[in-house]
Chains A and B, each alone.
Chain A
Protein backbone atom coordinates (compact mmCIF):
# COMPACT_ATOMS: atom_id res chain seq x y z
CA UNK A 1 0.00 0.00 0.00
CA UNK A 2 1.19 3.52 -0.78
CA UNK A 3 -0.96 5.12 1.89
CA UNK A 4 0.17 7.16 4.80
CA UNK A 5 -1.51 5.65 7.82
CA UNK A 6 -2.87 7.64 10.71
CA UNK A 7 -3.39 6.24 14.16
CA UNK A 8 -5.77 6.21 15.94
CA UNK A 9 -8.63 6.24 13.44
CA UNK A 10 -10.82 8.03 15.98
CA UNK A 11 -10.08 10.00 19.13
CA UNK A 12 -12.48 11.55 21.63
CA UNK A 13 -11.21 13.88 24.34
CA UNK A 14 -12.43 16.64 26.65
CA UNK A 15 -11.76 20.32 26.05
CA UNK A 16 -8.45 21.36 27.54
CA UNK A 17 -6.82 17.96 27.05
CA UNK A 18 -4.04 17.30 24.59
CA UNK A 19 -4.60 15.24 21.46
CA UNK A 20 -1.86 13.20 19.81
CA UNK A 21 -2.19 11.67 16.37
CA UNK A 22 0.42 9.47 14.72
CA UNK A 23 1.31 8.84 11.12
CA UNK A 24 3.42 6.14 9.50
CA UNK A 25 4.57 5.92 5.91
CA UNK A 26 6.63 3.63 3.72
CA UNK A 27 8.65 5.65 1.21
CA UNK A 28 11.51 8.16 1.30
CA UNK A 29 10.09 11.65 1.62
CA UNK A 30 10.86 15.28 0.82
CA UNK A 31 8.53 16.54 3.49
CA UNK A 32 5.43 15.56 5.43
CA UNK A 33 2.33 17.71 5.67
CA UNK A 34 -0.60 17.74 8.06
CA UNK A 35 -4.08 18.90 7.06
CA UNK A 36 -7.39 19.41 8.84
CA UNK A 37 -10.82 18.79 7.36
CA UNK A 38 -13.95 20.06 9.04
CA UNK A 39 -17.13 18.20 8.22
CA UNK A 40 -18.38 19.07 4.74
CA UNK A 41 -15.43 21.33 3.97
CA UNK A 42 -12.18 21.22 2.03
CA UNK A 43 -8.86 20.36 3.61
CA UNK A 44 -6.80 23.10 5.22
CA UNK A 45 -3.02 22.93 5.46
CA UNK A 46 -1.65 23.02 9.02
CA UNK A 47 2.08 22.36 9.00
CA UNK A 48 4.79 21.22 6.58
CA UNK A 49 7.88 19.60 8.08
CA UNK A 50 10.88 18.89 5.86
CA UNK A 51 12.78 15.62 5.92
CA UNK A 52 15.80 17.27 7.58
CA UNK A 53 13.68 18.73 10.40
CA UNK A 54 12.74 16.89 13.57
CA UNK A 55 10.18 19.17 15.18
CA UNK A 56 8.04 22.13 14.20
CA UNK A 57 5.57 24.31 16.10
CA UNK A 58 2.67 26.46 15.04
CA UNK A 59 0.54 27.94 17.80
CA UNK A 60 -0.96 25.01 19.73
CA UNK A 61 0.30 22.51 17.17
CA UNK A 62 3.51 20.56 17.47
CA UNK A 63 4.69 18.16 14.79
CA UNK A 64 7.57 15.73 15.08
CA UNK A 65 9.21 13.68 12.35
CA UNK A 66 11.38 10.58 12.71
CA UNK A 67 12.61 9.56 9.28
CA UNK A 68 14.45 6.53 10.65
CA UNK A 69 11.13 5.14 11.88
CA UNK A 70 9.16 6.64 8.99
CA UNK A 71 6.74 8.21 11.41
CA UNK A 72 5.35 11.58 12.44
CA UNK A 73 3.08 12.83 15.18
CA UNK A 74 0.78 15.81 15.54
CA UNK A 75 0.12 17.14 19.03
CA UNK A 76 -2.67 19.62 19.66
CA UNK A 77 -2.34 21.15 23.11
CA UNK A 78 -5.18 22.58 25.20
CA UNK A 79 -7.78 21.37 22.71
CA UNK A 80 -10.97 23.29 22.00
CA UNK A 81 -14.35 22.18 20.67
CA UNK A 82 -13.45 23.99 17.42
CA UNK A 83 -10.57 21.53 16.92
CA UNK A 84 -13.15 18.82 16.18
CA UNK A 85 -12.28 17.67 12.67
CA UNK A 86 -10.49 14.97 10.71
CA UNK A 87 -6.71 15.24 10.54
CA UNK A 88 -4.66 13.86 7.67
CA UNK A 89 -0.96 13.37 7.26
CA UNK A 90 0.43 13.49 3.74
CA UNK A 91 4.02 12.41 3.19
CA UNK A 92 5.48 13.82 -0.02
CA UNK A 93 7.45 11.28 -2.05
CA UNK A 94 11.09 12.10 -2.70
CA UNK A 95 12.58 11.83 -6.16
CA UNK A 96 10.89 12.41 -9.47
CA UNK A 97 7.51 11.08 -8.41
CA UNK A 98 6.74 14.01 -6.11
CA UNK A 99 3.21 13.54 -4.87
CA UNK A 100 1.42 13.44 -1.56
CA UNK A 101 0.34 10.08 -0.16
CA UNK A 102 -2.90 10.22 1.80
CA UNK A 103 -4.35 7.97 4.50
CA UNK A 104 -7.82 7.75 6.00
CA UNK A 105 -7.18 10.37 8.66
CA UNK A 106 -7.87 10.57 12.37
CA UNK A 107 -11.32 11.74 13.37
CA UNK A 108 -10.95 13.95 16.46
CA UNK A 109 -13.91 14.86 18.64
CA UNK A 110 -13.32 17.46 21.36
CA UNK A 111 -16.17 17.46 23.85
CA UNK A 112 -17.09 20.68 25.65
Chain B
Protein backbone atom coordinates (compact mmCIF):
# COMPACT_ATOMS: atom_id res chain seq x y z
CA UNK B 1 0.00 0.00 0.00
CA UNK B 2 1.26 3.47 -0.87
CA UNK B 3 1.89 5.44 2.32
CA UNK B 4 1.16 8.91 0.89
CA UNK B 5 -0.85 8.98 -2.30
CA UNK B 6 -1.82 12.02 -4.30
CA UNK B 7 -3.93 12.37 -7.41
CA UNK B 8 -3.74 13.20 -10.18
CA UNK B 9 -0.12 12.58 -11.18
CA UNK B 10 -0.39 14.95 -14.14
CA UNK B 11 -2.67 17.94 -14.53
CA UNK B 12 -2.73 20.02 -17.70
CA UNK B 13 -5.16 22.91 -17.75
CA UNK B 14 -5.85 26.35 -19.14
CA UNK B 15 -5.21 29.66 -17.41
CA UNK B 16 -8.15 30.80 -15.34
CA UNK B 17 -9.44 27.32 -14.53
CA UNK B 18 -9.97 25.93 -11.04
CA UNK B 19 -8.44 22.59 -10.10
CA UNK B 20 -7.94 20.35 -7.08
CA UNK B 21 -5.24 17.93 -6.02
CA UNK B 22 -6.07 15.24 -3.48
CA UNK B 23 -3.79 13.65 -0.90
CA UNK B 24 -4.29 10.77 1.48
CA UNK B 25 -1.91 9.15 3.96
CA UNK B 26 -2.39 5.78 5.65
CA UNK B 27 0.45 6.15 8.15
CA UNK B 28 -1.65 7.50 11.00
CA UNK B 29 0.39 10.71 11.02
CA UNK B 30 -0.90 13.87 12.64
CA UNK B 31 0.83 16.38 10.36
CA UNK B 32 0.39 16.87 6.61
CA UNK B 33 1.95 19.34 4.20
CA UNK B 34 1.76 20.78 0.72
CA UNK B 35 5.02 21.71 -0.99
CA UNK B 36 5.67 23.34 -4.35
CA UNK B 37 8.82 22.43 -6.29
CA UNK B 38 9.79 24.75 -9.11
CA UNK B 39 11.83 24.01 -12.22
CA UNK B 40 15.07 24.71 -10.33
CA UNK B 41 14.09 22.04 -7.78
CA UNK B 42 13.59 24.54 -4.97
CA UNK B 43 11.14 23.05 -2.51
CA UNK B 44 8.86 25.59 -0.86
CA UNK B 45 6.42 24.75 1.90
CA UNK B 46 2.95 26.11 1.27
CA UNK B 47 0.80 24.76 4.08
CA UNK B 48 1.00 22.47 7.07
CA UNK B 49 -1.86 20.95 9.01
CA UNK B 50 -1.67 19.24 12.38
CA UNK B 51 -4.74 17.22 13.32
CA UNK B 52 -6.86 19.11 10.79
CA UNK B 53 -5.70 22.51 12.06
CA UNK B 54 -3.64 24.87 9.92
CA UNK B 55 -0.24 25.45 11.57
CA UNK B 56 1.87 26.82 8.71
CA UNK B 57 0.55 29.10 6.03
CA UNK B 58 3.44 30.56 4.09
CA UNK B 59 3.12 33.52 1.77
CA UNK B 60 0.93 31.87 -0.80
CA UNK B 61 -1.69 33.61 -2.95
CA UNK B 62 -5.15 33.18 -1.52
CA UNK B 63 -6.11 31.45 -4.76
CA UNK B 64 -4.62 28.39 -3.04
CA UNK B 65 -6.86 26.90 -0.38
CA UNK B 66 -6.07 23.73 1.55
CA UNK B 67 -8.84 21.62 3.01
CA UNK B 68 -8.42 18.86 5.57
CA UNK B 69 -11.64 16.86 6.06
CA UNK B 70 -9.85 14.53 8.48
CA UNK B 71 -6.28 14.01 9.59
CA UNK B 72 -5.62 11.44 6.85
CA UNK B 73 -6.55 13.78 4.00
CA UNK B 74 -5.26 17.15 2.86
CA UNK B 75 -6.54 18.48 -0.43
CA UNK B 76 -5.35 21.55 -2.33
CA UNK B 77 -7.73 23.66 -4.35
CA UNK B 78 -6.40 26.27 -6.74
CA UNK B 79 -8.60 28.98 -8.21
CA UNK B 80 -7.96 31.05 -11.33
CA UNK B 81 -4.83 29.22 -12.33
CA UNK B 82 -1.92 31.28 -13.66
CA UNK B 83 1.09 30.37 -15.79
CA UNK B 84 3.37 30.79 -12.77
CA UNK B 85 1.50 28.05 -10.93
CA UNK B 86 3.10 25.47 -13.20
CA UNK B 87 5.26 23.29 -10.94
CA UNK B 88 5.31 19.94 -9.19
CA UNK B 89 3.20 19.85 -6.05
CA UNK B 90 4.07 17.38 -3.33
CA UNK B 91 1.99 16.22 -0.44
CA UNK B 92 3.84 14.89 2.63
CA UNK B 93 3.11 13.70 6.13
CA UNK B 94 4.98 13.21 9.39
CA UNK B 95 4.07 12.19 12.91
CA UNK B 96 5.22 15.56 14.29
CA UNK B 97 6.62 18.67 12.54
CA UNK B 98 10.22 17.78 13.45
CA UNK B 99 10.16 14.12 12.44
CA UNK B 100 10.92 12.68 9.04
CA UNK B 101 8.60 13.38 6.17
CA UNK B 102 7.00 10.84 3.87
CA UNK B 103 6.32 12.31 0.44
CA UNK B 104 3.79 11.48 -2.22
CA UNK B 105 4.97 10.99 -5.78
CA UNK B 106 3.97 14.49 -6.85
CA UNK B 107 1.48 16.16 -9.16
CA UNK B 108 2.95 17.85 -12.20
CA UNK B 109 0.75 20.86 -12.93
CA UNK B 110 1.07 22.54 -16.31
CA UNK B 111 -0.91 25.71 -16.90
CA UNK B 112 -1.19 26.67 -20.58
Contact = CB atoms under 8 A, between A and B. Distances in A.
Contacts of B44: 102
Nearest to B56: A99
A3 B44 CA distance: 10
Interface residues of B, number: 22
Interface residues of A, number: 23
Interface in A18-46: 30-31, 33, 35, 37, 40-45
Interface of A: 3, 30-31, 33, 35, 37, 40-45, 48, 86, 88, 92, 98-100, 102-105
Given A43-B103, A45-B102, A98 B41 contact: no
Q: Is chain B's binding surface mostly helix, strand, loop or mixed?
A: loop
Contact of B41 (A44, A86, A92, A99): A86
A42 B98 contact: no
Interface in B78-112: 90, 92, 96-106
Contacts of B102: 45
